[in-house]
Structure 1
Amino acid sequence: MHVRSSKVLKVSFLASGAALGLTAAPAMAQADGGSAEAETPLANAIIVTGRAQQLYRVDETSSGKLATPPLESSLVVTSITQELIEDQGARDAQDLYRNISGVSFFSYAGVTARGFRQEEIFYDGLRGDPYAGFSVPQLFNVERVEFLKGPSGMLYGPGAPGGLFNYITKKPDADEFTGEIKAILGTEDRVGGSAEINAPLGGGFAARGGVFYEDRGLFRFNAGSRTLIVDGGVSFEEGPARIILQATRYDQELDANRLRGVPVDANGEFRTSRRWNHNEPGDFLNLESDVVQGRIEVDVTPNLSIDVTARYNDAVEMQNYHEPRGLFDSDGDGQIDSSVRQFRDQLRAQETFSLGANAVWSADLGGNLGNRVLVGADFFDAESNFTGRALRGTTSNVAGLPNPLSLFDPQYGRTDPTSYALPAFRTSLSDSERFGFYLLDELRIGRLILTGGVRFDSFTDNANGTVFEDEEVTYRAGAVYRVTDEISLFAQYADSFEPQDVDDQDPLAGGPFAPTTGDIVEGGIKTALMGGRIQSSLSAYQIRRQNLLQTDPRGDVGGDGVDDLVAFGEVTSKGVEVDIAADITPNWVATLAYGYNDTRITENNGGGGFSNSVGDRFANAPEHQLGFWTRYQFPDLGLAVAFGGDYVSDRVSLSDQPVNDYFVFDASLIYETGPIRAMVRVDNLFDTTYAASGFIERTGHFPGEPRSLFVEVGYRF
């Protein structure tokens, strides 16, 4: 992590506070409309706190459908603002994962969230991730990222129970003209730049546009990345109505990708260099994705507002890569030293359409009573096309087949995909529709805030002619009690569901099956003490995930040649999260965050078979996480130095191989004067070799990035 400096004592107090979940306990949320900044004796003397509150804390979160100050919400939402993204030099979603308590890297854009694997991403509250398949979301056109923890079926419909990401995109602003240009230069031949401009056009119109390009080598052999994002939008505001139109083009060329891991031994140590790559120099993963989005906001009356958002995405991801298919001993000396490879030629295309509408009515009922009611509906349709073919090699060099690859002395360029005897392409088509209608009520009785909601969902999945339809009802209830303006107690219950994979709905296997379900019971305390100088958040939760599919221990029950499945089982995740941030001195700030999680199988049929489970543990679900961040400011020099660390305890892979714990440290040096800002950033300061997560034995663990450095210089106007 790193944070940015200003000309005077503008130390980034909440850099890691926001990143580590401390936005769940803001300094300035006041039940009676008072200002914490005005009540803080040092507010005018210590610019550090004021700047941090302005840049790293959000006054409201929107992922709960009702815009709410965090201290008044029973939800636990971590917000990462645009300023924090910038100060971290973050380029893609993977750069943010370790900043969110309860979230750790699993693979590509997937994470482990409170013990459960989670992959789906929302944009502006709607489904429609523009990164098809195995590409990782980029952050150039993202205003902030909100992570809503726990099951959220009542708010968003089908989803994993650990939480969900909501990416809020940048939009035109009619208030002022702004612009910025940046240039970056770093290790691994990293070079790039960006330009953005926002312009009020008069007559209620505004426009913004931006372009981002970066070319960088990746630390794995042969791997590289070229990313181009062109983003723009226009808005029109007239009276109580605002219309926003946006369009974005994403173009990525990733060399020698898609990346798998590096093989490990029985102790979880890499068998070879962490730079080893199973891909050939000519392999690639290319993405072209186009997004068009429109939104209408209308304040019909002072008490009634309506918004409607539509989002369309057309994305194509093409891949050629060599997949590791088995480790072996090539010379009979008893040491694993090579990998069989399979060549894969794949295309993934998706076309999605999302529509969401909300109406919010609010009223002051008098006598310290207030009420807000949300009525909403959303629709999502996704058509997907997978076309692929594959050819597996052997342990020997055979003409027309992919060659095996040495772990210790990989010889690239000696196998030619154009000479492979590839089979015909195989095509798979799918179409999914989701429709939801929901009602949410928030009642304020003095310092007590009660929330309750219900949602009805219907969904249809069609994969290669196999159709499955079902319905589900989900609920949410929450309570917040404002003990004082600086302390809130909260509790919540919520549930969620996920349809079973359509491929598992085969009647011959015992299908169709009802969706998996999940629910949470959570409670805690959020504080903003001493006017925000000491901030903390404490929460404890239990999440249950039920109705998971397992292999029927009786085998082929009907004698139809297909082994049966059975929907029976439960996984329980229990955890505690603690976050603290403090002003130690006017120039020295520090934060600390700790998360504990225990995810285990609590019911099964004796045969196991749960996805991502190994025995009674779950893959890549750490029991302990610890993060700290400290920064010291030299105001007279316009400089700041920062140092932080991230610890993740040991885990297991999907193949029950150990994934060892790690502690990684980072440092930053920042200089800022006037419109010019320069930053030197070092990641993995001590060049620690570690596995960020585990996968399966033949593909190995995903290695963490070695030490890297970059310099970024920007000019604002």
Structure 2
Amino acid sequence: MSRPAFRLLPHPLALALLLALPDAAAQAPTEGREPEATELDAVKVFGRAQTLYRSEDAAVATRTDTPLALVPQSVQVLPRELIDDQAAYDVTDLYRSISGVSYFSYAGVTLRGFRQENVLYDGLRGDPYAGFSVPQLFNIERVEVLKGPAGALYGGGEPGGVINYVTRKPQRRALRRVEVSLGNEDFAAGSFEATGPLSDRMRYRVGLHADGDEGVRWNADSESRIGDASLAFDVGVAGEFTLQVTDIEQNLGGNRLRGVPATDDGAFLTDRRWNHNEATDFLDMDARVALAQYRVSPSTDWDIELSARWFENSEHQIYHEPMGLIDRDGDGTAEWMTRQLRNQLRDNEGLTVAGNAVWRFSTGAVEHKLLFGADGYRLDADFRAQTANSADLASGAGPVPGIDLFAPAYGLSSYLDYGLDALPWRGTSTRGVRYGGYVQDEIALTPRWQVLAGLRWDGFEDEDRLGGGRVNGHDLSWRLGSTVVLREGVNAYANVASGFVPQATANQDPAAGGPFDAERGRQWEAGLKTELAGGRVMLGAALYRIERSNIVQATGEVVDGVNQLAALGLVRSEGLEIDLLADLTERWVLNVAYAYNDARVVEAGSNGITNASGDRFANAPRNKLGLWTRYDLPALSSAFGFGLDYTDERLSLDGQRVAPYTVFDLSWQTTLGPWKFQANVKNLFDKVYAASGFTERTGHFPGEPRRLYLQAAYAF
């Protein structure tokens, strides 16, 4: 498929705003008048770690303003400073800094042992990258990770936790920034951002980003564009109304990317750049998002928030799916990858509405922070597909040729050669509705002892709009936790929380044994959150156990030609997480995230548990260590950074070994007045490794080879 060359063009709206905004006028002292002496308030000096990488702003954990140190649950926040230092362009660049998180596939991760793909934006459902695209970070201010079941606040979701992306909003201080980046593999990117006041009661933000890359897999190029604009209005004395629109486009050539075939011991059978796709294959995604949010604090006792988020996402992909290796030339080595051609279209449209309020009051000497609210989410998902089969299998007479594993000859055929116009279409059309209400009380029993209790009721309805089937139900989630201040800077906490996941609509067929109650998850967690050495060292530790039950699996029995299902599954995940953020000196910052996890199947049906191999979960490493350290050189207005990412041995979905790996990164940055220059080297020693495993026929996902990024930014 012919694609236009990468270009970054100035947007007319951006230019108009740029020209219209006046510079702040400098006010000179009146001539002949002595300057008045001003008594300044005492200034608290924070260490580099706290000013660079620490954030207490994480409303995802409780939907209130409670400091993270007092939240009885493990929560991590990755602020924009860390994102910029690591030159993280998409979310996969950040996994080293989140304890308990490792790569699974595309935008999916393993979180506390369980595969996780659902995310939130500004605390609301509706992922514009839904499908096979990876969330980009250009318009993201910070990433928040709430560990464990989050059903008491957010309804049904995987028990490992939830990831929330907080988007960038208009600021009261004027700032404009232009950035250009270059790198190997013909990488180029450019962006423009501007924010500031339009009047005393109105603020704006506009952002434009574009990038292009030839890619590290053969035939796999990419282009992305993001446009983001928002306005914020002061309403009355204490209210703020924000409107935001975002447009996203991704064009990925030679996609959808699968892995590279590997031995059972985890070694790639061929070059890590090998691709099963032709250059004419593609994955094109377009998405649009609109957010409206109103926040008001009518008094010191009340906070109120109302939000609505709408998105639509269209994804078209034509690609060659690897179907397994065969020994075509009879030399005893399977060298020929058979392939299907898949033409797939996905359209998603979702709407979330939510409202909550916080009421602060006292009953005698006991202080309360009462949260209550409700939300609803509707998702319409349409899928259409065609398939052309392999020409290289005795069981099929399809037109699609395979590709050699060791000497691939690309360009001999394309999707235009397979007669797609004559192939039948198959498809699905579904509507999923989620709605619920919740209440939560944070109780300060004493200045050193706090208790959190939350309860949520959820209803759901799934509709097959083609077949006419409909499934509905409801469930309860809850959480109970407590934090005790042992001494200043040392807090101990414990919690128990529940969550649930509605069963897939396809599993609710009465002929197969359905309908079934939702899957249940429960977590027990205890930990410490400490500030030591006068606040220079922040250390968090968490021990947890998560159990997931009522998992629907095949029983192996067939009744009237229908495979029977039953709620047979029970799985357990146990682990330890340690997070350290420290000022080693006044110039030297260290950030460490370590996790140990043992996720196992306790009870399974005859066909095993989805996303597991035997009694172990796929892509769930026992040990994972991420490190990032930064050393500042004030005399040179510069800073050096160094990163390490270690991931232990794992299993693929088919039980193949995924070898452990360690990769290292370097960064350097310097500022010259309004200019900032930065260089990042990722995978410094060009390590060949698998980021995760999938199936035997699709192979392991290779990690990126060494990448170099150079960046120049000008702020004005």
Q: TM-score scaled to structure 1, two decimals? A: 0.91
Check the 8 A contact 2:57/2:65 in 1, yes or no.
Answer: yes
In structure 2, the residue matched to 1:575 is: 575
Does structure 2 conserve the Cα–Cα contact (< 8 Å) formed by 1:75 and 1:149? yes
- Displacement of 1:632: 3.0
Once the two structures are TM-superposed, the CA of residue 39 in structure 1 deviates from its matched residue by 10
Q: Is the 8 A contact 1:115 1:618 kept in 2?
A: yes
Alignment of 1:399-418 (within 5 A): 401-418=399-416
- Which residue number corresponds to residue 658 of structure 2? 659
SS for the counterpart of 2:562 is: coil
SS of the residue corresponding to residue 54 of structure 1 reads: helix
Deviations 1:35-68 (Å, cap 9, x if unpaired)?
xx9898xx3xxxxx53432332112311021222
**1:111 deviation in Å?**
0.3
Q: Distance in 1 between matches of 2:581 and 2:348?
A: 43
| Aligned equivalent of 2:714 | 715
For the residue of structure 1 that corresponds to 2:496, the secondary structure is strand
Structure 2 residue aligned with 1:430: 430
Q: CA separation in 1, counterparts of 2:259 and 2:613? A: 19
Contact 2:525 2:542 in 1 (8 A): yes
Paired residues of 1:132 and 1:316 also in contact (CA < 8 A): no
Amino acid at match of 2:662: F
Gaps of at least 5 residues in structure 2 are: 1-40
Do residues 628 (structure 1) and 624 (structure 2) align? no
1:253-277 deviation line (CA, Å, top 9, x unaligned): 1111110000001211000000001
Local SS of the residue matching 1:166: strand
Partner of 1:188: 185
Q: Do structure 1's residue 466 and structure 2's residue 469 form an aligned pair? A: yes
Question: Which amino acid letter does the alignment assign opposite residue 49 of structure 2?
Answer: A
What residue is the counterpart of 2:52 in the other structure? 55
Alpha-carbon distance change, 307 to 657 in structure 1, aligned in 2, over 3 angstroms: same
CA RMSD of aligned residues (A): 1.7
One-letter amino acid of the structure 2 residue matched with residue 449 of structure 1: Q
- Matches of 1:386 and 1:145, distance apart in 2: 30
Residue 462 of structure 1, CA deviation = 1.0
User: What aligned pairs does 1:517-536 form with structure 2 within 5 A after superposition?
Assistant: 517-536=520-539
> What SS does the aligned partner of 2:84 have?
helix
Between 1:595-604 and 1:577-586, the stretch displaced more is 577-586
Offset at 1:642?
2.3
Counterpart contact for 1:451–1:479, Cα < 8 Å: yes
Q: Determine which of 176, 179, 190 is the counterpart of 2:176.
A: 179
Equivalent position of 2:252 in the other structure:
254
List aligned pairs for 1:628-707, cutoff 5 A.
628-707=627-706
Residue 620 of structure 1: CA displacement?
A: 0.2
CA shift for structure 1 position 507: 1.0
Matches within 5 A, 1:146-225: 146-173=144-171, 175-225=172-222
1:232 aligns with 2:235: no
Distance 1:604 1:384 in 2: 30
Deviation at 1:647, TM superposition (A): 0.7
- The CA deviation string for residues 616-669 of structure 1, in whole angstroms up to 9 with x for no partner, is 101000001122233333322223222221111100000110000001111112
Give the match's secondary structure for 1:104.
strand
Distance 1:433 1:212 in 2: 33
User: Whole-Å Cα distance in 2 between the matches of residues 316 and 692 of structure 1?
Assistant: 27
Cα contact 1:400–1:419 (8 A) shared by 2: no
Q: Distance in 1 between matches of 2:390 and 2:258?
A: 17
Which structure 2 residues correspond to residues 460-609 of structure 1 after superposition, within 5 A?
460-463=461-464, 464=466, 465-553=468-556, 555-556=557-558, 559-605=559-605, 607-609=606-608
Q: Is the CA contact (8 Å cut-off) linking 2:280 and 2:414 kept in structure 1?
A: no
TM, length-normalised to structure 2: 0.91
Return the letter of the residue paired with 1:576: L
Residue 331 of structure 2 aligns to a residue in which SS?
coil
Counterpart of 2:263 (choices 265, 273, 282) is: 265
Name the CA distance, whole Å, in 2 between partners of 1:203 and 1:638. 35
Change (3 A) 1:581 1:122: closer
Counterpart code for 2:532 = L
Provide the rounded CA distance (Å) in 2 between the counterparts of 1:641 and 1:620: 32
**What is residue 439 of structure 2 aligned with on the other side?**
439
TM superposition shift of 1:85: 1.3
Cα distance in 1, alignment partners of residues 508 and 98 from structure 2: 35
- Residue 368 of structure 2 corresponds to 371
Q: Secondary structure at the match of 1:273?
A: coil
**More deviation, 589-598/697-706:** 589-598
Distance 2:402 2:255 in 1: 17
The structure, 1 or 2, with the larger RCO (C-alpha pairs under 8 Å, 6+ apart) is 1
Aligned mates of 2:408, 2:381 — CA distance in 1: 36
Deviates more, 1:410-419 or 1:631-640: 631-640
Q: What secondary structure, in the 3-state scheme, does the structure 2 residue paired with 1:126 have?
A: coil
**What is the aligned counterpart of 1:383 among 374, 380, 383?**
380
Contact 1:216 1:224 in 2 (8 A): yes
Distance in 1 of aligned mates of 2:273 and 2:542: 39
Task: Kindly indicate whether the alpha-carbon contact (under 8 Å) linking 1:679 and 1:712 is maintained by their aligned counterparts in 2.
Answer: yes
The gaps in structure 1 that reach 5 residues or longer are 1-36, 44-48
Q: State the shift of 1:535 in Å.
A: 1.8
Deviates more, 1:685-694 or 1:86-95: 86-95
Give per-residue Cα distances to partners, 1:351-388, cap 9 Å, x unaligned.
Answer: 10000100110125564x32100110000000010011
SS of corresponding position for 1:585: coil
How far did residue 428 of structure 1 move?
0.8
Q: Secondary structure at the match of 2:584?
A: strand
- Partners of 1:588 and 1:90 lie apart in 2 by 21
Task: Give the counterpart of 2:131 among 126, 133, 147.
Answer: 133
